[in-house]
Amino acid sequence: MNKLTIPKIVPGIPRPQGFMTPLKRGAFLRYLGVSAAATGMLLAGCSDDDGDKAPSSVDLGSGDTGILNYAYLLEQLEAAFYVKVIDSPYANMPAEEKTLLMEIRDHELAHRDFFKAALGSAAIAGNVEFDFSTIDFSSRSSVLTTARAYEDLGVSAYNGAGVLLESPDFLLIAGKIVSVEARHASAIRDLLNPFTAAFSGDDVVTPSNGLDQARLPADVLAIAGTYVKTMVVFDNLPS
Amino acid sequence: MNLSRIFHAIESIDPEVYERTSNRRSLFNNLTSAGVKAAATIPLIVGSSLKSAYGKGSASVGDVLNYALTLEYLEDAFYKQGLMAEGLIPENRRAIFQQISKHESAHVEFLLGVLDSMDVTPVSKPEFDFTANGMYETVWSNYAVFLTLSQAFEDTGVRAYKGRAQELVGQAALTAALQIHSVEARHASMIRRLRAEKGWITGAQTNGAPPAVYAGEDVTMQGTVNVTGLGYTTAAATQAFDEPLTPDQVLAIAGPFIVAP
């Protein structure tokens, strides 16, 4: 069984910014600690609505399929976020920002649909439900800091998952996607802090070795869990 | 054994490598309990631990890492020289290039440290001519030319790492290579945007860079899936996936800038 550890703060590798307030984070960690540590489940809240389309839980599965479903889940999260960003743009969104965000939205949608097609019947079924209630879509700062956090998280997720893949073909596909996520992260970071070192900042690229972050699935899902309503079972993923 | 490199490697190896090293716990115990008195023995402990982390199939891993080292040498030399060229980089853009240069230097040191720990002889630093024998003779005085080459090197770097990832399946070195690969992509995106381009690659558009840098970037088939068939434009389908380059393709791109190996 995949042991779920409470996400630890690695010195010098801060968590992505803009995810959650310290209070919320603490609450989330307790939740994981009490409810999910033994089961390897990611419980980020129960959906009260009947949710015909939304499954009550999804199991990512095992092996390469599990890792691809994990990527599929993360791409669904990113795609749903950017769809909302474009559907309800923050006030006075400059044209060039809108173009950039629309293009990123389309890339994430393409990634999502690619995984769905590639996985076929092995894809996690139904619509995973997301909870974006902590994001203020009318605020440029809220939207862009969330985008930054998602993109940095996505980069770290692919970087950490690559070694778990057995198929060279899937590894290559993951490599083709992760560099695009890194391009997004760089652009979003530059929108927030133009023409500074932030695009590849010391908060994500360790200055002493020039390495970007890499996270294992359990750590990524613990962070992403804030935004995922559907219960995600990931204890069969390779580790 | 180069002690400073090993020490550098200690600080710099990512935690995930330790995660996958069976003697992770003993390594940390040794490091934390050894104390100052035993400092002389630490490099040996770490050397062997790194070797078990990176050493599996070390002939091919070493080959890939030496390939990466050559590219990092090229990038490192390029930015160091660019930052020294008076009047080349505008004052309000220097922070960007200092950051990139810092990373390329760190990549060189990191790769040297890993190769050393694997007892693989690193390739020597080539001699570079970034004018490519006069083809880019204003590279140190014309910012636009410098940016064009910067973009070419960064996008080539991204594609080069991607092209050899498959040789590292399941290896600890794969994670490190991916962690460098995504940094090159961050750089590439920024440089492209400095040139008023998109941070991502559309089709095989070159925007003034050598066409070989973007050869094959226009594919829309990913595995068995035709991404345009999913309802996406060719532009979006090609932007959403970066493509690899083979070592031969990379050599053809980098070759004109290498005077002597």
- Which of chain B's residues have a Cβ under 8 Å away from the Cβ of A178? 178, 181-182, 185
Q: For residue B120, what are its two tokens?
A: 């693989």
- % of chain A beyond a pLDDT of 90: 74
Q: What is the mean pLDDT of residues A31-56?
A: 44
Mean pLDDT of chain A: 83
Tell whether B158 lies on the interface with A, counting CB pairs under 8 A. yes
- Which of chain A's residues have a Cβ under 8 Å away from the Cβ of B188? 183, 186
Closest CA to A81 of A194, A203, A228: A228
Residues A71-105 have pLDDT tens digits of: 999 999 999 999 999 999 999 999 999 999 999 99
- Which of chain B's residues have a Cβ under 8 Å away from the Cβ of A158? 178, 182
What does the alpha-carbon distance between residue A199 and residue B41 come to, in Å, rounded to a whole number?
39
| Other Cβ atoms closer than 10 A to B144 | 9
Mean pLDDT is lowest, of A113-122, A208-217, B7-16, for: B7-16
Beta-carbon separation of B174 and A162 below 8 A: yes
What does the alpha-carbon distance between residue A145 and residue A147 come to, in Å, rounded to a whole number?
5
- Which of chain B's residues have a Cβ under 8 Å away from the Cβ of A187? 189-190, 193, 199
Beta-carbon separation of A111 and B178 below 8 A: no
Residues A8-22 have pLDDT tens digits of: 333 333 333 333 333
A106 closest CB neighbour out of B100, B185, B236:
B236
- Which of chain A's residues have a Cβ under 8 Å away from the Cβ of B200? 103, 107, 180, 183-184
What does the alpha-carbon distance between residue B2 and residue A237 come to, in Å, rounded to a whole number?
39
Confidence (pLDDT) at A239: 86
- Which of chain A's residues have a Cβ under 8 Å away from the Cβ of B164? none
What does the alpha-carbon distance between residue A28 and residue A53 come to, in Å, rounded to a whole number?
26
Residues B158-177 have pLDDT tens digits of: 999 999 999 999 999 999 99
Q: How many CB pairs under 8 A join A and B?
A: 215
Q: Is residue A34 pLDDT above 90, yes or no?
A: no
Beta-carbon separation of B236 and A211 below 8 A: no
Min Cα separation A109/chain B (Å): 9
What does the alpha-carbon distance between residue B21 and residue B38 come to, in Å, rounded to a whole number?
22
Mutation pick from B178, B193, B221 vs chain A, by most beta carbons of A within 10 Å, is: B178
Q: For residue A222, what are its two tokens?
A: 């613990």
Q: What is the mean pLDDT of residues B77-84?
A: 98
Min Cα separation A30/chain B (Å): 24
Q: For residue B98, what are its two tokens?
A: 């200092």
Map residue B222 onto helix, strand or coil. Answer: strand
Q: Are the C-beta atoms of B72 and B111 separated by less than 8 Å?
A: yes
- % of chain A beyond a pLDDT of 70: 77
DSSP state of B163: H
Q: What is the ipTM of this complex?
A: 0.82
Confidence (pLDDT) at B250: 98
Mean pLDDT is lowest, of A3-7, A28-32, A226-230, for: A28-32
- Which of chain B's residues have a Cβ under 8 Å away from the Cβ of A175? 161-162, 165, 178, 181, 242, 244
Q: For residue B230, what are its two tokens?
A: 């999913």
Q: Are the C-beta atoms of A4 and A35 separated by less than 8 Å?
A: no
Beta-carbon separation of A211 and B19 below 8 A: no
| Phi-psi map region of A15: left, alpha, beta (phi>0 left; psi -120 to 50 alpha) | beta
What does the alpha-carbon distance between residue A126 and residue A39 come to, in Å, rounded to a whole number?
22
Confidence (pLDDT) at A54: 59
Mean pLDDT of chain B: 84
Beta-carbon separation of B198 and A117 below 8 A: no
Tell whether B234 lies on the interface with A, counting CB pairs under 8 A. no
Sign of CA dihedral A21, A27, A29, A31: negative
Residues B95-126 have pLDDT tens digits of: 999 999 999 999 999 999 999 999 999 999 99
Q: Is residue A5 pLDDT above 80, yes or no?
A: no
What does the alpha-carbon distance between residue B177 and residue B244 come to, in Å, rounded to a whole number?
14
Q: What is the mean pLDDT of residues A128-143?
A: 97
Beta-carbon separation of B244 and A183 below 8 A: no
Size of chain A, expressed as the number of residues it contains: 239
Q: Give domain B56-201+246-260's CATH architecture.
A: Up-down Bundle (1.20)
Confidence (pLDDT) at A53: 58
Q: Which CATH class is domain A62-233?
A: mainly alpha
Closest CA in chain A for residue B97: A197
Confidence (pLDDT) at A127: 77
Tell whether B98 lies on the interface with A, counting CB pairs under 8 A. yes
What does the alpha-carbon distance between residue B134 and residue B149 come to, in Å, rounded to a whole number?
13
Q: Indicate the burial class of B84 (C-beta count within 10 angstroms; 0-12, 13-18, 19 or more).
A: exposed
Min Cα separation A224/chain B (Å): 19
Q: What is the mean pLDDT of residues B183-206?
A: 98
| Other Cβ atoms closer than 10 A to A35 | 12
Closest CA in chain A for residue B91: A195
Mean pLDDT is lowest, of A35-49, A108-122, A220-234, for: A35-49
What does the alpha-carbon distance between residue B84 and residue A104 come to, in Å, rounded to a whole number?
36
Residues B7-66 have pLDDT tens digits of: 334 334 433 433 433 333 333 333 333 333 333 333 333 444 444 556 544 569 999 999
Beta-carbon separation of A155 and B190 below 8 A: no
Range(s) within chain B of domains with CATH label 1.20.1260.10: 56-201+246-260
What does the alpha-carbon distance between residue B145 and residue A237 come to, in Å, rounded to a whole number?
47
Q: What is the mean pLDDT of residues A133-146?
A: 98
A179 closest CB neighbour out of B170, B193, B242:
B242
Beta-carbon separation of B99 and A199 below 8 A: yes
